[in-house]
Amino acid sequence: MALRRFFVGGNWKMNGNKESLEELITTLNTASLHDETEVVCAAPSIYLDFARSSLDPRIGVAAQNCYKVAKGAFTGEISPSMIKDCGVDWVILGHSERRHVFGEGDELIGQKVAHALESDLGVIACIGEKLEEREAGTTEEVVYAQTQVIAENVKDWGKVVLAYEPVWAIGTGKTASPEQAQEVHEKLRAWLRANVSDDVADSVRIIYGGSVTGANCKELASQGDVDGFLVGGASLKPEFVDIINARA
């Protein structure tokens, strides 16, 4: 079985200014981080250059979104080629806030995934069910459908990290229990095995997002199919270091 390198992403969302981010970056640069964990910080697009030039090279940087073409008359958008030009290697796509606050549909997210990968960006592709979907018992149906659209647009899975983020757990303080997270991750891996390949199922990293903290990260990290985290609020605090070191 492929050894999956633990992956911890920090999604800063629309937070921070140069002063507060410089402080956070100094904390990360000087912290003792577990060598075997891949760390990526997703900065607001206006700070991508700043984040990349300030962060230690061992820490990756991601954009939080991008558009589906390289350039053109798309006011307010950024493209993978611009992201790459800032020395940034990753992008988050399909985050639930993009889906539910900004109305991005599966088809658009799929097109973005395809273009980002063609542009040689790594993609953190997000999926997850809303509270009413979990309560209605349709979690699997929802996440399989979202994963399907992503899978149709991926040629090289080596550049993809799948982030399972139950929408009801994002920023709410409600975390999926380690068992709930493991159950969905295990089912997603089985879906990949059945619909993509054994190799991809064994090697692709499926990370968990949704109110991950220094307090709950170790127990979540001990689950066999949880290969890391996408961290929101806690990624702006010193406890992000504890989350990075959850497997240390």
Cβ(10)–Cβ(33) under 8 Å? no
Q: Is 165 a catalytic residue?
A: yes
What is the distance between the alpha carbons of residues 78 and 87, in angstroms, rounded to a whole number? 14
Q: Which of 95, 104, 129, 133 is catalytic?
A: 95
Helix then strand count (H, E) for the chain reads: 11, 8
Q: Is 34 a catalytic residue?
A: no
Reduced 3-state DSSP string for 81-145: HHHHHCCCCEEEECCHHHHHCCCCCHHHHHHHHHHHHHCCCEEEEEECCCHHHHHCCCHHHHHHH
Q: Which of 38, 133, 165, 185 is catalytic?
A: 165
Q: Which residues are marked as active site?
A: 95, 165
